[in-house]
Structures are given as C-alpha cells and as structure tokens.
Amino acid sequence: MKRIVAILALLFLAAEARADFAAGMAAYQAGNHAAALAEWQPLAETGNANAQYMLGRLHARGEAVAKDIEAAAKWFAKAGDQGIVDAQVYLARLYDKGDGVPRDEAQAAKWYRLAAEAGIPEAQYRIAQIYDQGIGIRVDRGEAARWYRQAADAGSGEAQYRLGRIHEAGEGVREDLAEAAKWYLKAGEQGAADAQYRIARLYERGTGVARDEAAATKWYRAAAAGGIADAQYQAAKRLAAGLGAPANEAEASRWYLAAAAKGIVDAQFQIARRFENGIGVERSFEDAAKWYKPAAEQGITEAEYAIGRFYAAGLGVAANDSEAAKWLARAADKGVVNAQFMMGFVAFNGRGAPRDNVQAYVWYTLAARNFPTEAERTVAIKDRDTVAKLMSPEQVQRAQLIARDWKPKPQ
C-alpha cells in the first residue's frame, strides 16, 4: 500500500512539473521571459531536464537574465547528461567555437558524438569532420566515413560531398568512383558547387560514370555559377569550343573574365586575347592590356609577347620602349619568332635597350630560321644583311656562332 502511495505521489509531482514547465513555455512564447524563468528555475534545480535546457537558452540569449554563456553551458550540460539532444548540440557548438567558454575540442567531440547517436544530421556531419581531421581525438577515417554516410543519408549536402571525396580518394573506404559519382550527384543537385565541379570532372573523363560531354558542361556551368574558379575556366573553354553545348562566345567570355579575376592565369590570357580581338566582348585594348600584364608576369609566353607589342605600339597603355623591350626579350628567349624579329629591330635601333648590332644580327638570324613563310624569312634576311654591313667580320662570326648555338629557354 505504501508503495502505491509513493508511486501516486511521484506521478502527481511529475504531472505538476509538466504543468509548471508548460506554463513557463506559454509565458516564454508570449514574450514574458521573466515569468518563464520563475517557472523553470525551481524545476531545473530539482533536475527537470527540459527546464534545464530552457534555462540554458535564457542565459545564452540574455533573456530575463544577464547574458552568461558559462551559466548556459552549465545548464546545457545538466540537460545533455539527461539526453536532451538540443542541449547536446548547443553545448557542442559552444565548445567547438570557444564561444563564451574556453575552446575544448575533446568536449565538443563528446557532445557532438552524443547528438550524432541521437540522429541529428548536423552533429553527424561535424563528428565525421572531427574524426576525419583528428580534432580533439585521433584521426579515424573509417569512423569519419560511417558518420558522413549517416549524415548523407539524412540529406546533408556537405556530407554527401565529403562522402564522394572519401570514395574518390579511398580514405577509410575502398576507392569506388561510381560510389563517389553517386554522392557528388546528390550533393550537386542540392547546389553544392564543389560537388558539381567534381561530378563534371568525372563526366568529362568518363571515370565512375559513362563519359558525357553534355553532362560535364552542365555541371561545370553550375559549379561556375557557384564561384568555383577552375569550373569557370573549364566552362569557358567548353562553351568557346561548343563542347557539350552550343558554342556561346559571350558566355565563354563571361566565365573567362570571372576565372581571370580569381587568378586563373590561362583565363587571364584568354580574356585578354578576347578583348584584343572583340570575341564575345566589346573590343578594348585597355582591358586586353589589363589582363595580358598579369598573365605575362606569371610566365605565359604568348602574354609576354602580347604586352610587349602593346607597350611598343601604345595599345591600351602608354607607349614605353623599355617595357616593350623587356617583355619582347622574354618572349624571344622562349622562341616566339615574331618577338625575335621585333628584338632585332630593338637592338639595331636602340629602342628601349642599348644598341647592339651583334644582338640584332642574332635575332634577325633566328627569325629568318623560324618564320613559317618564305616572304617573312626574306624580310628577316634582308634586315640581317643590313645590320651586317655595319659590323666587322669578327662581329659577324661571333653573332653567327651565338645564333648557331642558341636554344630557347623553357616556357
């Protein structure tokens, strides 16, 4: 009989606690945070997990009390220990970021793991990252893959992308490009730009999926729109060539320009060439010079020759003989025949560099050797012979030996 009375008393107290908690929730939702605090404080102190969680929220947000993250963490821990998943996630975030409490990677891992086991996709993804990167615990790629899989199955696009990467690289799982493609597609369909870029590469190469140029272009375009620099460059190349989609010079130029702005050097050269020739954009020597210059500075041979031409002719930049000579010499040294011919003129006339008949003879000789047409070779030979008339036999012989032994510098 006493046992029955005790059970009834417990049930009564539990019902009363539920009523008090509900009253606090009604007050909270009405914006009366002080009344909610008055209802929840005694419940939390007697061990009511839901009240402990809500008290943590009040302290975390500074509602009815001064904002106090340490106090919030104390209440979240009490609620989390009783299985309140939202408290576990909140506490994991606090320790993960060091937000109001000392950053503690091990504590973050503990609480994320508990929330992950309760099926929270955010926690599953983060605990996967923690195992993947060894944040506060030892690296375990197998565990990372397991948690990525659970988060991916729950629809996390980030987890789907990471699962694709894991299967592509064979990290913690057997390498499986078909499985990687499957997860990249799922993530890509949710708008994950990195996944869109990866699936485009697989379609382009025919690895893990059947080769499909149209699909490759589709996904490169999507990833380009998501800001992936190499996807912008790849989309531009494909649209310029009409590969996987009808040729579209205007769109190709738009993606080249976007990739160039992100530092893709080949895109810088291509958009410069397009501005120079008015391909897919309005012709602009100023814009062409703007993009030839950084491409030249990064060693693109054709860009070195182009910016040299621009400085020589004052196209899009102020004419500058010394700058022209500098860039033309770099291109000539790498075997650009037109630059070699122009360097013959520079050396013979002392335009931007000291006058040097031996060097002029060498450059005209190389141009005569490398020009593709008879007419061009004839002009170079004529100019070389003009220089030779002003040289001693010893100078001619030295120039001939230099030209004979000359080799282009690597590009």
Annotate 229-295 with DSSP letters as a single string.
HHHHHHHHHHHHHT-SS---HHHHHHHHHHHHHTT-HHHHHHHHHHHHHTSSS---HHHHHHHHHHH
Band of residue 330 on the pLDDT scale cut at 50, 70, 90: very high
Distance CA 175, CA 168 (A): 6
What's the pLDDT tens digit per position in 295-324?
Answer: 999 999 999 999 999 999 999 999 999 999
Band of residue 18 on the pLDDT scale cut at 50, 70, 90: low
- Which domains occur in the chain, in start order? 1-82 (1.25.40)
HSE value, Cβ hemisphere, 13 Å, CA-based, for 193: 11
Q: Report long-range pairs for 365-372 (Cβ below 8 Å, ≥24 apart).
A: 365/399, 365/400, 365/403, 366/332, 366/337, 366/340, 366/403, 366/406, 367/337, 367/338, 367/340, 367/341, 369/403, 370/335, 370/337, 370/340, 371/337, 371/341, 372/337
* pTM > 0.95: yes or no: no
Mean pLDDT confidence for 323-331: 98
- Confidence (pLDDT) at 317: 98
- Confidence (pLDDT) at 19: 59
